Amino acid sequence: MKLHQIAFYFTLFLCARYSQGAAIDDETEELEGYYWRHYTDHVPKDALPGGKDMKGETTYIGQALYRSILIPGQFIVGDRKLYFEWGDAERVTSDNIKILCTKHPEQFEWIRTTTEAVGNIPDKNFILGGFESDFTVYIGRVAIDNTLAIGKVIFSTHESSSVGFHTTCRQNASFVRAQEFEVLNYEPKIPPPAKMEEKAKGGAMFTSKIDAFCFGLMISVILFLTH
Ligand SMILES: *[C@@H]1O[C@H](CO)[C@@H](O)[C@H](O)[C@H]1NC(C)=O
């Protein structure tokens, strides 16, 4: 086998490899990088950490069905309960809880904002946290005493001026409305740390054992054919 033939097969191999890689990349871009998992006895390993409870333990972003409304709130691991606000009161449930999960926690950002400014954040992609007719419900959080309480940011779909952050204070189990809070935004363009490393290496050829195996196999075939 001549050198130009080897070069041809090698190029063919590289083309096949990289077109396959490109197809996979396109596919993942179309999917949202988060999902709600049903809570059963333990918090899923890929749950997105959200806040802190009174003991300083991490809390998670939960969602419950309450009076035909989906409401986001804080899941407290030690209590195995979801606490959320509705009708100016703290509500609690230990049933039918969903937890927000992701494989890419780095693609989420908590944007510090206020009731007045939240509607004007450019390029926002806030996470929809629930469903309530006449409202759009996002996820927010605020520091209350020594906790970081997860709650809901609601926008009225009728009057654009009606925006509010609602949560509850665990210390006294009463509702809280805050003018300054953080809202949860999803930014899929933020590259995962592993990918950044890969790029920094200048496109290392062997990204996995399978790549190395294919390359080795190809070399063996070429050597076999040339003898
Ligand atoms: C509950 O505690 C919070 C935080 O300390 C406070 O802002 C709120 O006024 C309290 N509510 C009641 C009803 O005591």
pLDDT band at 26 (very low <50, low <70, confident <90, very high): low
Range of 22's domain?
3-31+191-226
pLDDT at 226 over 80: no
Residue nearest to atom 9 of ligand 1 (CA): 176
Q: Mean pLDDT over all residues of the chain?
A: 85
* Co-location of 158 and 214 in the same domain: no
* Co-location of 68 and 14 in the same domain: no
pLDDT band at 203 (very low <50, low <70, confident <90, very high): very low
Residue among 3, 177, 24, 156 at smallest CA distance from 90? 177
* Co-location of 120 and 195 in the same domain: no
Residue 189's CB is within 10 A of a number of other CB atoms, namely 8
The pLDDT assigned to 210 comes to: 62
Pocket of ligand 1 from Cβ distances under 6 Å: 144-145, 169, 171-172, 174, 176
Average pLDDT over residues 181-199: 78
Residue nearest to atom 7 of ligand 1 (CA): 176
pLDDT band at 29 (very low <50, low <70, confident <90, very high): low
pLDDT at 7 over 90: no
Residue nearest to atom 3 of ligand 1 (CA): 169
* Co-location of 215 and 155 in the same domain: no
The pLDDT assigned to 191 comes to: 76
- Of 8-22, 41-55, 108-122, 128-142, the least confident: 8-22
Total structural domains within the chain: 2
pLDDT in tens, 35-91: 999 999 999 999 999 999 999 999 999 999 999 999 999 999 999 999 999 999 999
| Boundary-marking domain end, from 154, 171, 186 | 186
How remote is the CA of residue 148 from the centroid of ligand 1, in Å?
A: 14
Backbone angles phi, psi at 120, to 5 degrees: -110, 15
* Co-location of 21 and 129 in the same domain: no
The pLDDT assigned to 24 comes to: 55
* Co-location of 119 and 218 in the same domain: no
Give every CB contact of residue 25 below 8 A, 6+ residues apart in sequence.
Answer: none
Q: Which atom of ligand 1 is nearest to the CA of 172?
A: 1
How remote is the CA of residue 169 from the centroid of ligand 1, in Å?
A: 7
pTM value is 0.73
Rg (alpha carbons) of the chain, rounded to whole number: 24
* Co-location of 167 and 205 in the same domain: no
pLDDT at 193 over 90: no
* Co-location of 91 and 203 in the same domain: no
How remote is the CA of residue 173 from the centroid of ligand 1, in Å?
A: 8
pLDDT at 214 over 90: no
CA separation for the pair 85, 90 (Å, rounded): 5
* Co-location of 154 and 171 in the same domain: yes
How remote is the CA of residue 142 from the centroid of ligand 1, in Å?
A: 13
How remote is the CA of residue 174 from the centroid of ligand 1, in Å?
A: 7
The pLDDT assigned to 202 comes to: 47
How remote is the CA of residue 40 from the centroid of ligand 1, in Å?
A: 32
Say whether 210 sits in a helix, a strand or coil: helix
**Residue in 147, 148, 168, 169 to alter for ligand 1 test, most ligand atoms within 8 A of Cβ:** 169
* Co-location of 182 and 204 in the same domain: no
* Co-location of 23 and 129 in the same domain: no
* Co-location of 90 and 129 in the same domain: yes
Selection from 27-36, 76-85, 152-161, 162-171 with the highest mean pLDDT: 76-85
